[in-house]
Amino acid sequence: MEKKKIQFKDDQVLIKIEDNFMTSEVDGEIVIMNPNSGEYFGLDEISSNIWKLIDSKKSFNDIVGELIKIYEVTEAKCKEDSRPIFIRLLQLKFLKFQEE
């Protein structure tokens, strides 16, 4: 099955869909699992930090702003590297856009 192409505006607020996942952290890395579908997504250390930042209804831009303070990276590079993580989390229905 082909996955729906997901695009979003950088200022759209993303929120976790709490009912759709369980998480476990091991050695600083997080595994997110959908108990209904059995799908899971393993996060490395940087992706785990991104997941932790999605905790108070922040936009992609807000999270990128926090990441560039933590890591020595330009805003453009941070967006390029992190956008696929957000898209995958949206595809797996661990995240959604906040309704306006």
Cα 22 from Cα 55, distance rounded (Å)? 15
Structurally, the chain folds into a number of domains equal to 1
CATH number of the domain bearing residue 65: 3.90.930.60
Three-state DSSP class for 71? coil
Provide the whole-model pTM: 0.84
Q: Is 8 domain-assigned?
A: no
Cα 11 from Cα 35, distance rounded (Å)? 30
Q: Is 48 domain-assigned?
A: yes
Q: Pick 68 or 97 by higher pLDDT.
A: 68
What range does the domain containing 61 cover?
A: 13-94
Q: Is 50 domain-assigned?
A: yes
Cα 65 from Cα 67, distance rounded (Å)? 6
Q: Which residues share a beta bridge with 25?
A: 30
Q: Is 29 domain-assigned?
A: yes
pLDDT, position 61: 95
pLDDT, position 1: 46
Q: Pick 28 or 62 by higher pLDDT.
A: 62
Buried b (16+ CB within 10 A) or exposed e, 63-86: bbebbbeeeebeeeebbebbbebb
Q: Is 65 domain-assigned?
A: yes
Q: Is 4 domain-assigned?
A: no
Amino acid at 3: K
Q: Is 53 domain-assigned?
A: yes
> Span 56-69, mean pLDDT?
91
Three-state DSSP class for 23? strand
pLDDT, position 3: 57
